[in-house]
Structure 1
Amino acid sequence: MQYKWNYVKPSPEATAEAEEVAQRAGIHPVFGKLLLDRGIREPQEVKRFFKPQLTDLYDPFLMNDMQRAVGRLNDAMAHKERVMIYGDYDVDGCTAVALVYKFLLQYYANLDYYIPDRYEEGYGISKKGVDFAYETGVKLIIVLDCGIKAVEEIAYAKDLGIDFIICDHHVPDAVLPPAVAILNPKRIDNHYPYDHLSGCGVGFKLMQAFAVSNGIEFNKLMELLDLCAVSIASDIVPIMGENRILAWHGLRRLNSNPSVGLQAIIEVCGLSERELTLNDIIFKIGPRINASGRIQNGKEAVKLLVEQDYSAAVEMAERINLFNEMRKDIDKQMTEQAVNHVKEMPDLEDRKSIVVFNKEWHKGVIGIVASRLTEQYYRPVVVLTESEGVATGSARSVSGFDVYGAVRSCADLLDNFGGHTYAAGLSMRVENVPEFARRFEEYAENHILDEQMEATLEVDAVLDFSDITFDFYRQLRKFAPFGPDNARPTFCTHRVYDYGTSKVVGRGQEHIKLELVDNKSNTVMNGIAFGQSSQARYIKTKRAFDICYSIEENTHKRGEVQLQIVDIKPCE
């Protein structure tokens, strides 16, 4: 991939302010700039950012309808009503269901949980799920990570005498469902101070409010923060504000004392002997939880996440791991087919978006394929397949383009849709697909900017190798966990040279292991450049080149750092 490097040199005034912030905090001036980039200036803000406190979580009763939600839940318990915890089949939904179910089960036994079947019921609340609740005597359903658009389904449930508490974080329509309480920080009439919670995060706030109303100590909730961290990482929500607090403490829990189910997944992933990061969740833990809903049924993932017996949990984790291996095989095959389909588009160079449809594709993997196409072609993508006579699909976006808005602009063609800025789900009649593709492209033409269709590296600072000490790395680690709105910093060093020992590595000889020097110091820096072996010949000529990279600890040499090189550009 050809990257455009974007670096804006700070003004003298900005440099002076960054140095002042850094001096007060006792950190390198580069990190003063990074704090300012995140809107952090005052010493108290710096302290809260570097060491988030659970006491800074917002009062859950600031969220619209929270008092109603807790009141209805307490009333259900007082009258011994059967309560169902209902959630989406992805990581966010499964962790949310596990969190609420595990917490309430400590105080109330008449509970059940339900995850809809992706293939038989589709996304969100289904009539089948409501009927099952009615047949089993459920009087209250707490729905997590979906439900905000289920107007008809919740009205149907209400006629059957079933109440709903909705805990969702997706964008609502103008008409809200007839639920007893709707907890969603994205409501137009929302008064809650933070609107980027994950679905699991909204569920956590409900349990926080339930704990307050029943005099339960907050320490009991801390046992569930590992689930919050998994949901926040997997759902790609911003890692600032309240999410940062939950993710920071959730990672500490995941590393020190994870729940039995998550410990089993960690074991199966081969991650037991290392400190886990949000990236480990995104690339290892999350995909295995997701694989259950993609290949079989998400209820298996929830069963694992609430399991108390470690031997049973490992057995379930190994089964889910097999699902993930199956998912990877299907994903690879479908991605190849989709890429070939895109290559055959006669007007590909002129298009601002990509919409592909194949009725044979596996419904459980289309979101992953859409993400891969977005990464490869750097434009908004919709991947569609056919399920029970309906075209159903996933949309993914590029930086700064509102793919949910693009999908919503075609609402009259759709049976159902939902999502947020960078990802959406949708369904429609098969005959509407060509018109949808035309209208989606038209929206993209009118709203996407040329620079949004370029793979861009935002460079945070230009460094010399002499800057990159292990102490510098320790200061950098304070910015973790990294994610949206708090991206892992990317640095640049100009005019570096091969020390003479760089070599191509990897099973397919696709990577380069580098030992480099810059032209300003005698410091030798280790690095790895994944998938960039095409640059090896130039590097071995001993000519100068520029590098863009992130900094990480060298796992083979404790106390040393290495560069993870994202891009290499030969000097002119």
Structure 2
Amino acid sequence: MADISKQFRHSTWYYRADPNGGQAASMTATTATVATTASALAVASAAPGRTGASGRAPEQIVRDLLTARGQGREPMPLKFAADSDQYVLDEWERLPAPEDFTEMPAATGRLLAAVLKKEKILIHGDYDVDGICATVVLLRFLRRCRADVDYYIPERLTDGYGLTQSGVDLAVSGHYDLVVTVDCGIRSFEEAETLTTAGIDLIITDHHEPLIEHGRIVLPRASAVLNPKIPESGYPFKDLAGVSVALKFCAALGPIFGHKDAWEEGEILAALGTLADSMPLVGENRLIVRRALPRLATLAEEDGGYPGLAALLATVIPHPDDRAGLSATDLAYKLIPLLNAAGRLGSCEDAVRLLLADTAAAAQPYIAALQAGNVERRAIQDYVFFAALRMLGENPELAGEPLLILAGEDWHPGVLGIVAARLMEVFTRPVLLLAAEDNLLRGSGRAPDGFNLLEILERCGEHLATFGGHAAACGLSVLPENLPALRTALRTILRDRRPAEPRQMIDLVLTPEEINPATAEAISELEPFGKGWEEPKYCTFNLPITACRVIGSGGEHLELTLATGGGRTERAVMFQAAGKASLIENLLQKQGTAYADCVFKFRAASWQGKPKLDIVVEELALRPSADFSLVHYLPEEWRGEQISALELGYIWRLCEQSLSAGVAIVDLGELSMAVAERWQRLPGANLLHGCLKLFQQAGILIQYRESVSVPRLTPESGWRRVAELLPPELAWRHVARPVILVRPSVRGERRRLSELEEYAALFAPDGD
């Protein structure tokens, strides 16, 4: 098997089955042959018009896929059964028993006594989807047991994360006898002591990392603690979501109260919490989600279980046939963000009431509120994201830190986690975002693979007010006066740590003929896909493209028509790739068909009841003919100004020189003067803005936006120099504000290219 990686224009992709872990020579779009897995499929990347080997049977493709993944470093939740073509779960062929928790007898005994004695019970939850689902699961079960039970979920903005002081105050003032936490509490030491002093018992169910001091686990005072992350918990699977831990508690109590269906009753919400918290879809988590998906697909609004959830699902996926093939991806991108929106912006009460609604009609007001909240969340999220970019552009020293830590006075705390994740993808390093709130900076952090964010924060805990979470995600708070010391400590801890170049993995090479509904249906049997068991990605060489068009409300995406063999065509989408449209259209006009090497995902789907393939192209390398020439004519609204590929490539190089830290604020006046000195003509602001827009659409820049700051018209300012060279009636065309530029990857060893830049480089080689 050849040890080969595939270098596309934006990043380098590695074959997952590479036994050297991807340490192979890069392969360009003109490499002659690629050998794949044990099937020895050879795909020739010859002249346009030729295709590779004939198609394999879908069952063989599935076998090759599992074989390729079995040779990688990732854990394998699937394997082939002996002497069979059937694949089965590896090691997790049954759900572990709730009684495997060492402290389960203590937990069930205390709760049983509370129910029998009619003691007042308070469930203390959390405001994310995992915590909401955990609260609803335990509340519904205890109501079935006729317990005297209420619930409390803190607000993100006013209370923060964990077993909160506001929750403790409610328990004390309300004369509760028992508090049960779900998805929180494992580090709430002071609050636990306050409850104990008040004579209130505490049961903690959680899945976050416990505190370790001097090599020992330290736990809050409680009647029982159920958390698989505790080494002595006795539970074999360590990556349960918070809702699944709560459901285990219910399942242990179920037979005692005559409700043996307790697990089945709550399994649907356990699946939602597992996906929402991005828990690894291996082991028990895989079983939970796999079993829940068909139940969710057929969930009806008149069912007695979750009519509110059924109504929400019917809202986001209206056609019943489209829900028949419901996937984990559908839930993660269409349904879960709506449930999450409420807790991000304030109270999550709308989401809780939706899940508790008795009828679909009763759920409609909450659905409308969640939809409106999600729209608002997106707008706030974009505002914070661009504000963070501007901060980095104005403070290059911050952009060069091994861990980005930014604080804003008007940032909404509810979106900081999402924005931190976006910045992490752009800058490929850990990110902490903080918002000012009542003399405290409170926020969230995200870290890429290879960094344990919780461990990093533990090493500088003396500078933090609070913190907790997981290796990849955390919440924290810090006093403003401690922020400089925190920056210094983080810089010291991560002095020698630099993120590795992101490794994108190709699972299999397919021929165009193998991209068909039968293959997609066979691969769908490997669902659910998610963290730990990612959706497969494929590579096809010389894939014919017969048409393309720009789509999306802002004209930012690209739809392709692909010829997949046998006279069939399939439509595919490539997001944020509208800049490639002119290149493909030129090739189509000249050759009739364009050819490209593609990395893509595809799956069987349905639209308004009609079967279809969902194909998402992630990388695309066009194969132009040798005499292909590129001259970009900018749109008419740019006043007819023309630009050649030479000039376009030169403008990009000037921009790129400012992007060594990944983000920059560029004075377009100075850029205009630099172009004039090289090409003896003065490009206008409209032309330069158009070029930057093209760069963004083509993927060279991730973001391009005008800065909100006013340009400083010093004597050396580019804009002042431009204005002096222009007639007064034309000067208005050059009065614009500085712009913010952000490139896709800051620390990649390989320079990212797009077709736009590559072709421009053909006409303007480096050094010109």
TM superposition score normalised by structure 2? 0.68
CA contact (8 A) 2:163 2:188 kept: yes
Give a deviation string over 1:384-414, Cα, whole Å, max 9, x none: 0111211111001123322222222221111
Q: Rate the CA distance shift 1:131–1:28 in 2: closer, same or farther, 3 A.
A: closer
Other-structure match for 2:341: 291
1:4 matched to 2:16? The reply is no
Q: Which range is displaced more, 181-190 or 257-266?
A: 257-266
Q: Which range is displaced more, 295-304 or 187-196?
A: 295-304
Give a deviation string over 1:58-81, Cα, whole Å, max 9, x none: 011112311111111111111111
Q: How far apart, in 2, do the equivalents of 1:69 and 1:46 lie?
A: 43
Other-structure match for 2:512: 465
Other-structure match for 2:727: none
Letter in 1 for 2:183: D
- Aligned-pair Cα RMSD in Å: 3.0
Q: Which range is displaced more, 97-106 or 468-477?
A: 468-477
Per-residue deviation, 1:526: 2.9
Q: Rate the CA distance shift 1:34–1:244 in 2: closer, same or farther, 3 A.
A: farther
3-state SS, counterpart of residue 347 of structure 2: coil
Per-residue deviation, 1:367: 1.3
Other-structure match for 2:545: 498
Q: How far apart, in 2, do the equivalents of 1:378 and 1:336 lie?
A: 17
3-state SS, counterpart of residue 57 of structure 1: coil
Q: Rate the CA distance shift 1:344–1:24 in 2: closer, same or farther, 3 A.
A: closer
1:330 to 366, 371, 380: 380
CA contact (8 A) 2:17 2:37 kept: no
Letter in 2 for 1:203: A
Q: Which range is displaced more, 473-482 or 23-32?
A: 23-32
Letter in 1 for 2:114: A
Q: How far apart, in 2, do the equivalents of 1:236 and 1:190 lie?
A: 22
Q: Rate the CA distance shift 1:47–1:87 in 2: closer, same or farther, 3 A.
A: farther
Q: Rate the CA distance shift 1:56–1:34 in 2: closer, same or farther, 3 A.
A: farther
Identity of aligned residues (%): 29
Q: How far apart, in 1, do the equivalents of 2:492 and 2:413 lie?
A: 26
Per-residue deviation, 1:461: 0.9
- Aligned counterparts, 1:287-326, within 5 A: 287-326=337-376
Q: How far apart, in 2, do the equivalents of 1:17 and 1:46 lie?
A: 22
Q: Rate the CA distance shift 1:571–1:437 in 2: closer, same or farther, 3 A.
A: farther
Letter in 2 for 1:530: F
Per-residue deviation, 1:442: 3.6
Give a deviation string over 1:520-565, Cα, whole Å, max 9, x none: 9876443211211122233332554311100123545944434210
Other-structure match for 2:670: none
1:250 to 273, 289, 292: 292
1:32 matched to 2:62? The reply is no
Per-residue deviation, 1:364: 1.6
Structure 1: gaps spanning 5 or more residues:
none
Q: Which range is displaced more, 542-551 or 474-483?
A: 542-551
Give a deviation string over 1:204-236, Cα, whole Å, max 9, x none: 111111114444323x43132221121111100
Q: How far apart, in 2, do the equivalents of 1:83 and 1:65 lie?
A: 19
1:266 to 282, 304, 313: 313
Q: Rate the CA distance shift 1:14–1:63 in 2: closer, same or farther, 3 A.
A: farther
Give a deviation string over 1:101-150, Cα, whole Å, max 9, x none: 01121112311011012222211112221121122221111101110000
1:15 matched to 2:34? The reply is no
CA contact (8 A) 2:226 2:233 kept: no
Give a deviation string over 1:277-313, Cα, whole Å, max 9, x none: 2223222322222222222312332222112132221
Q: Rate the CA distance shift 1:159–1:349 in 2: closer, same or farther, 3 A.
A: closer
CA contact (8 A) 1:53 1:245 kept: no
Per-residue deviation, 1:27: 6.3
Q: How far apart, in 1, do the equivalents of 2:365 and 2:36 lie?
A: 59
Other-structure match for 2:395: 345
1:140 to 178, 190, 193: 178
Other-structure match for 2:765: none
3-state SS, counterpart of residue 352 of structure 2: helix
Give a deviation string over 1:389-444, Cα, whole Å, max 9, x none: 11111001123322222222221111111111110000111111122223324433
Q: How far apart, in 2, do the equivalents of 1:420 and 1:222 lie?
A: 28
Q: Which range is displaced more, 286-295 or 484-493?
A: 286-295
CA contact (8 A) 2:403 2:431 kept: yes
1:354 matched to 2:404? The reply is yes
1:204 matched to 2:247? The reply is yes
1:100 matched to 2:138? The reply is yes
3-state SS, counterpart of residue 79 of structure 2: coil
Other-structure match for 1:474: 521
Per-residue deviation, 1:263: 2.0
Other-structure match for 2:280: 238
Q: Which range is displaced more, 225-234 or 344-353?
A: 344-353
Q: How many residues were matched structurally?
A: 563
Q: How far apart, in 1, do the equivalents of 2:17 and 2:436 lie?
A: 50
3-state SS, counterpart of residue 232 of structure 2: coil
1:565 matched to 2:617? The reply is yes
Q: Rate the CA distance shift 1:209–1:55 in 2: closer, same or farther, 3 A.
A: farther
Other-structure match for 2:111: 73
Q: How far apart, in 1, do the equivalents of 2:102 and 2:121 lie?
A: 22
Q: Rate the CA distance shift 1:494–1:25 in 2: closer, same or farther, 3 A.
A: closer
3-state SS, counterpart of residue 158 of structure 2: coil
Give a deviation string over 1:140-181, Cα, whole Å, max 9, x none: 111011100001111110111111111111100031001111
Q: Which range is displaced more, 131-140 or 230-239?
A: 131-140
Structure holding more helix per residue: 1
CA contact (8 A) 1:50 1:479 kept: no
- Aligned counterparts, 1:523-542, within 5 A: 524-540=569-585, 541=587
Other-structure match for 2:99: 61
Letter in 2 for 1:516: L
1:395 matched to 2:445? The reply is yes
CA contact (8 A) 1:35 1:41 kept: no
Letter in 2 for 1:468: I
CA contact (8 A) 1:144 1:168 kept: yes
Other-structure match for 1:170: 208
Q: How far apart, in 1, do the equivalents of 2:458 and 2:220 lie?
A: 19
Structure 2: gaps spanning 5 or more residues:
1-8, 20-34, 42-55, 212-216, 301-305, 625-768
Q: How far apart, in 2, do the equivalents of 1:46 and 1:164 lie?
A: 50
Q: Rate the CA distance shift 1:215–1:194 in 2: closer, same or farther, 3 A.
A: same
Other-structure match for 2:236: 193
Other-structure match for 1:550: 601
CA contact (8 A) 2:17 2:507 kept: no
Per-residue deviation, 1:44: 7.0
Q: Which range is displaced more, 293-302 or 113-122?
A: 293-302
Q: How far apart, in 2, do the equivalents of 1:227 and 1:108 lie?
A: 21
Q: Rate the CA distance shift 1:530–1:66 in 2: closer, same or farther, 3 A.
A: same
Q: How far apart, in 1, do the equivalents of 2:330 and 2:605 lie?
A: 16
CA contact (8 A) 1:370 1:382 kept: yes
TM superposition score normalised by structure 1? 0.91
Give a deviation string over 1:182-221, Cα, whole Å, max 9, x none: 1111013232110000000111111111114444323x43
Q: Rate the CA distance shift 1:24–1:333 in 2: closer, same or farther, 3 A.
A: closer
Q: How far apart, in 2, do the equivalents of 1:46 and 1:237 lie?
A: 30
CA contact (8 A) 1:514 1:528 kept: yes
Other-structure match for 2:748: none
Letter in 1 for 2:99: F
Q: How far apart, in 2, do the equivalents of 1:350 and 1:235 lie?
A: 30
Q: How far apart, in 2, do the equivalents of 1:293 and 1:6 lie?
A: 39
Letter in 1 for 2:429: R
1:123 matched to 2:169? The reply is no
Q: Rate the CA distance shift 1:29–1:285 in 2: closer, same or farther, 3 A.
A: closer
Q: Rate the CA distance shift 1:492–1:10 in 2: closer, same or farther, 3 A.
A: same
Q: Which range is displaced more, 255-264 or 239-248?
A: 255-264
Q: Rate the CA distance shift 1:25–1:282 in 2: closer, same or farther, 3 A.
A: closer
1:184 to 207, 220, 227: 227
Q: Rate the CA distance shift 1:194–1:144 in 2: closer, same or farther, 3 A.
A: same
Give a deviation string over 1:442-501, Cα, whole Å, max 9, x none: 4334334432xx3x42111111111223221111101111111110001111222322x2
